[in-house]
Chain A
Amino acid sequence: MYITLIFLGIIMATIIWWLLRQTFNTQPWVSEAADNAANGSSLDTSTKSVALMTFIAVATSVFALFISAYTIRMEEPDWRPVAEPALLWANTVVLILASIVYHWTRNAAVKGIDARVRPGLTVAGALTILFLLGQLVAWRQLNSAGYYADTNVANAFFYLLTAVHALHMLGGLWVWFSSTIKVWTGADSDSVRLSIELCTVYWHFLLLVWIVLFGMLLST
C-alpha cells in the first residue's frame, strides 16, 4: 500500500496545504473589505478545468490502488511474470505521438489557427484509436501464446491494467469525437478550444499513466 499512500499523500497534502493557505490568516467574524469584494471563485480557471483536475485525482487514485495491489500480490510465490509482446513498444510510440499531435492542435486552437485544428484533431484521434487497436492485438498475441487470465495472476493483472487504461482512453475519445464532429461541421476553433485544451491535459495524463504501467509491467 506504500504506493497508494505516497500518491494519496501527495494529493491530500496539496489539498490540505491549499485549504490552510486559504483559511489561515482569516478572521471570518470580522468584516474585511477584501472579502466583501471576493468574486466567489477560488481558482482563476474555468469550472470544467477544475472538474477535470478533480477527475484526474480520482483516476490517479484508481491507478495507484491497482499498482499497490499489483506490488503486494506479486510477492506471493505463485507469481509467473508475463513476457510482454514487443508490440507494446510500438504502441507506446503511437501514444506519445498522439499526445504530441494533441498538444500541437491545442496550440493551434489557442492561437486561433483553424486550418491546423481540423487535421490535428483527426490525426490525434486516429493515433489514439491505433494505440487501442495495438493493445488489442497485444492481447491476442498473449492469449495465443497461452497467457490466460486464469492460469496466473500476473497475466490477469496485465489484462486488467491495460483494460482499465483503455477504458479511460475511450472516455477521452468520446469527448474527442464530439469536438471533432463540431470542427468538421463548420464550428470555428474557438468554440472547441476549451475542450481541446482539456483533452490535451487528459491525453498527457493517460500517457504518463501508461508509461508508469508499462515500466512496471516490464520490470516485474
Chain B
Amino acid sequence: MAYVSIADRDHEVEHHDPQTFISKYVWSQDHKVIAIQYGVLAIFIGLVGMLLSSMFRLQLGFPDTFDFINPENYLQFVSTHGMIMVVYLLTALFLGGFGNYLIPLMIGSRDMVFPFMNMLSVWVYALSVIILLASFFVPGGATGAGWTLYPPQAISAGTPGVDLGIVLMLLSLAVFIVAFTMGGLNYVTTVLQARCRGMTLMRMPLSVWGIFMATILGLLAFPALLVSAIMMLFDKLLGTSFFMPAMLAAGEVTDHNGGSPVLFQHLFWFFGHPEVYIVALPAFGIVSDLLSVHARKNIFGYRMMVWAIIAIGGLSFIVWAHHMYVSGMNPYFGFFFATTTLIIAVPTALKVYNWVLTLWQGNIHLRVPMLFAIGFVFTFTHGGLTGLFLGNVTIDLPLSDTYFVVAHFHMVMGVSPVLVVFGAIYHWYPKMSGRMYNETLGKWHFWLTFLGAYSLYLPMHYIGFLGVPRRYFAMGDTDFMPDSAITLNSAMTISALIIAVSQLIFLYNMIVSLKKGEKADGNPWKATSLEWLTPDNPPKHGNWGHDLPVVHRWAYDYSVPGAEDDYTPQTVPADVVPVGRDHGVDT
C-alpha cells in the first residue's frame, strides 16, 4: 500500500491526542467519537418518537379504549413525533452521525478540519434535544400544532402547548440549526479541502457525495426555518403580527392584526422541501455503496449518479409550494410547481434504474446490509410513485388532507431512509465496534421491519383513498368509512406495534455484539473504499497511523477482469492492478 508522509500535507489538521476519559469520550474532538455521540443521541430521541407514534396508533386503532390518551396529548404526540423523526433523528443521524464518521475516513483525512467546532456541534445538538424533551414537562405540555407548526393555530388559545410548549419547540429548533451549521461548515470544508493525495472529487464514494450535497442544502435551507421560528417567537412573545392575522381566539379578540399565515407556510416549506432531500441524498449515496459492495460490482453510471445528486439538490429549492396546493394559489404557480415536482422525478428515477442495473448480473450477497439496501429500493420506488400522484394539483387537492399523504411521505422519507440507516449501521458496525453483529438476529430485524412497514402503510394508502382524514383524534360514525376500514385501522396499529417491538431485536443485537460479537476483520466485506483500509480496527485517533493513504483509483473497482481478487482497494496503484477499462474490458 502506498502512503505519503504526514509532513506532505498535514499542516492544516490540528492534532489533539486525548488524554483522559473525559477528553476521550465526553468532550471528545475525534470525529468518530462525535459521530457515535450523535448517533446514540439521535437513536435515543428516535425511540422516543417511535414510542409517541405507538401511543397515538393505539388511539387510532382502538378508539375509546385507552384512558391515558386524550385529544390534547394525541395532538402533542403526533406533532412531536413528526418533528423528532424528520429533524432530530434523520437529519442528525445522517449528517451528524454518518457524515462525521464517514467523511474523514472515506476521503483519507485524519479528522474534520475544525475538531473543536465539531465537538461544540454535538453538544449544542444535545442541548436542543433537552429543550425539546423539556417541553413535555412544562405547564400546558408540548405543542400540539402539528409538526409544521402552522400559525395562527400554533400560537392561538385552544391549541395544546400554546404557552410554553411552542416557545420551547421553536427555541429547540433554533438551537438545532446552530448545531447543524457548525457541523455543516465542517463537512463542506473537510470534503473540499482535506482529501488525501489522489482523492479527486470524482473518486469519492457516493456516500460522501450524498452527504456533501445534503449538507449544502441544509446550510442554505435551514435558515428558512430559523427565520420563521424567530418571527413566530416574536409574534408569540412580543405580540408582533408577522404571521398572525386579526382574529378571534377562544371567543376573544386578539391584539394581532394583518399578519400573513401563508407567509409562514412559504418560509416553512422553503426549508421543508429541501429537508426531504437533506434526508434522502445521504440515503441515496449510502445505498449506492451498499449495493455495489454486496453485489461485487461497480456502481452503474457513477457520473450520472453524481450529477443526479447535484441536480436533485438544485431542483429541490424550486418545488416547495407543492406542499401548499390546498392553501390556495395562482393556477399558474400551481402549474409551475407541479411541473418542477415532476421534473425532479427524472434524476430520481435515473438513480433507481442505476441501482437496479448495479444488481443486474451482480454476485449478490444477501447479507443484512444488502437486505436493507434492496428493501430501500422497493419502498423508495413505491413512495416515489405515490409522489407523482400528489405532485399534480388536481389529484393532490382531494387527497391532501387524507391518510394517502401520510402513507406517501412515510414510505418515501420515513421507511426508506430508516432502512438505509439500519443497513448502514450493520454495514459499518464491524468498523465502528471492531465486532461482528449476529446475522440471524439482523435478518429477523430486517424482515419484521420491512414486512411490518408494508403491512402498516399499504392499507394506509387505501383508507386515504376512501377519504379518511388525517390528524383526527377519532373518526366517530362516518358514512364513507366502511367496517373493513375500521378493522384495517386496528390491523395497522398492530403492525406498528410489531415494528416497534422488533426494534428491540436491533438494540439487543447492537449492544450484546459489542462484547460478545465475533472479532471483526478490518475489511470483512472485502470493500475498496478507504475506511476499510485503516491500520487499526476500529481506527484509532488520527485514523491512519503515521502516514496518510494515497489514492490511485475510484472506489468501485469490484470484479475487475484479470485481477486476482474481486475487489481492488483505492490505494492499489494502476501498475499493480489495472483500473477498470484500462484493462481493455468494458466494466
Chain A residues with a Cβ under 8 A of chain B: 1, 4-5, 8, 11-12, 15-16, 19-20, 22-23, 26-31, 35-43, 46-47, 50-51, 54-55, 57-58, 61-62, 65-66, 69, 72-73, 76-79, 149-150, 153, 156, 160, 164
- Complex contact A12–B9 (CB within 8 A): no
Q: Which residue of A lies closest to B306 (CB)?
A: A23
Per-residue 0/1 for B52-70: is the Cβ within 8 Å of any A Cβ (1 yes, 0 no)?
Answer: 0000000000000000000
CA distance A55 to B188 in the complex (A): 10
With A28-B302, A47-B113 in contact, is A15–B193 under 8 Å at CB?
Answer: no
Q: Which residue of A lies closest to B262 (CB)?
A: A72
CA distance A27 to B579 in the complex (A): 11
- Complex contact A29–B260 (CB within 8 A): no
Number of interchain pairs (Cβ within 8 Å): 185
- Consensus secondary structure, chain A interface: helix
Among B200, B227, B242, B317, the residue within 8 A (CB) of A26 is B200
Interface residue? B108 (CB, 8 A): yes
Q: Smallest distance from the beta carbon of A65 to chain B beta carbons, Å?
A: 4
Q: Can you list 24 residue pairs at the A/B interface with Cβ under 8 Å?
A: A1-B266, A15-B216, A22-B202, A29-B581, A30-B582, A31-B582, A37-B198, A39-B9, A41-B9, A42-B193, A43-B193, A46-B12, A50-B189, A54-B184, A54-B188, A55-B185, A65-B227, A66-B227, A69-B242, A78-B257, A150-B239, A150-B241, A153-B241, A153-B259
CA distance A94 to B579 in the complex (A): 61
CA distance A5 to B320 in the complex (A): 12
Q: Smallest distance from the beta carbon of B2 to chain A beta carbons, Å?
A: 10
- Complex contact A36–B230 (CB within 8 A): no
Among B192, B227, B317, the residue within 8 A (CB) of A8 is B317
Q: Which residue of A lies closest to B12 (CB)?
A: A47
Interface residue? B444 (CB, 8 A): no
What total of chain B residues lie within 8 Å of the partner, measured CB to CB? 74
Residues of B within 8 A of A23 (CB): 201-202, 303, 306-307
Q: Which residue of A lies closest to B302 (CB)?
A: A28
Among B107, B227, B313, B581, the residue within 8 A (CB) of A30 is B581
Residues of B within 8 A of A43 (CB): 192-193
Q: Which residue of A lies closest to B216 (CB)?
A: A15
- Complex contact B580–A57 (CB within 8 A): no
- Complex contact B260–A72 (CB within 8 A): yes
Interface residue? B199 (CB, 8 A): yes
- Complex contact B189–A51 (CB within 8 A): yes
- Complex contact B227–A69 (CB within 8 A): yes
CA distance A69 to B270 in the complex (A): 12
Interface residue? B425 (CB, 8 A): no
Q: Smallest distance from the beta carbon of B362 to chain A beta carbons, Å?
A: 16
Per-residue 0/1 for B377-405: is the Cβ within 8 Å of any A Cβ (1 yes, 0 no)?
Answer: 00000000000000000000000000000
Residues of A within 8 A of B220 (CB): 8, 11-12, 57-58, 61
Interface residue? B255 (CB, 8 A): yes
Q: Which residue of A lies closest to B240 (CB)?
A: A156
Residues of A within 8 A of B314 (CB): 12, 16
Residues of B within 8 A of A15 (CB): 216
Residues of A within 8 A of B181 (CB): 55, 58
- Complex contact B303–A28 (CB within 8 A): yes
CA distance A51 to B231 in the complex (A): 27
- Complex contact B223–A50 (CB within 8 A): no
- Complex contact A150–B238 (CB within 8 A): yes
CA distance A35 to B239 in the complex (A): 59
Additional 6 contacts, C-beta under 8 A, given A16-B310, A40-B107: A26-B202, A29-B302, A31-B578, A36-B552, A37-B198, A58-B223
Q: Smallest distance from the beta carbon of B579 to chain A beta carbons, Å?
A: 4
Among A40, A57, A77, the residue within 8 A (CB) of B219 is A57
Per-residue 0/1 for B568-579: is the Cβ within 8 Å of any A Cβ (1 yes, 0 no)?
Answer: 000001100011
Interface residue? B532 (CB, 8 A): no
Q: Which residue of A lies closest to B231 (CB)?
A: A69
CA distance A79 to B240 in the complex (A): 12
Q: Which residue of A lies closest to B239 (CB)?
A: A150
Interface residue? B267 (CB, 8 A): yes
Among A31, A73, A76, the residue within 8 A (CB) of B553 is A31
Q: Smallest distance from the beta carbon of A17 to chain B beta carbons, Å?
A: 10
Q: Smallest distance from the beta carbon of A214 to chain B beta carbons, Å?
A: 19
Residues of A within 8 A of B241 (CB): 78, 150, 153, 156
Query: Which of A31, A50, A57 has the most chain B CB atoms inside 10 A of its CB?
Result: A31
Q: Smallest distance from the beta carbon of A59 to chain B beta carbons, Å?
A: 8
Q: Smallest distance from the beta carbon of B213 to chain A beta carbons, Å?
A: 9
Among A16, A28, A69, the residue within 8 A (CB) of B267 is A69
Residues of B within 8 A of A160 (CB): 230-231, 234
CA distance A8 to B302 in the complex (A): 27
CA distance A28 to B202 in the complex (A): 6
Q: Smallest distance from the beta carbon of B48 to chain A beta carbons, Å?
A: 29
Among A29, A55, A72, the residue within 8 A (CB) of B298 is A29
Q: Smallest distance from the beta carbon of B263 to chain A beta carbons, Å?
A: 5
Q: Smallest distance from the beta carbon of B470 to chain A beta carbons, Å?
A: 27
Among A8, A61, A76, the residue within 8 A (CB) of B258 is A76
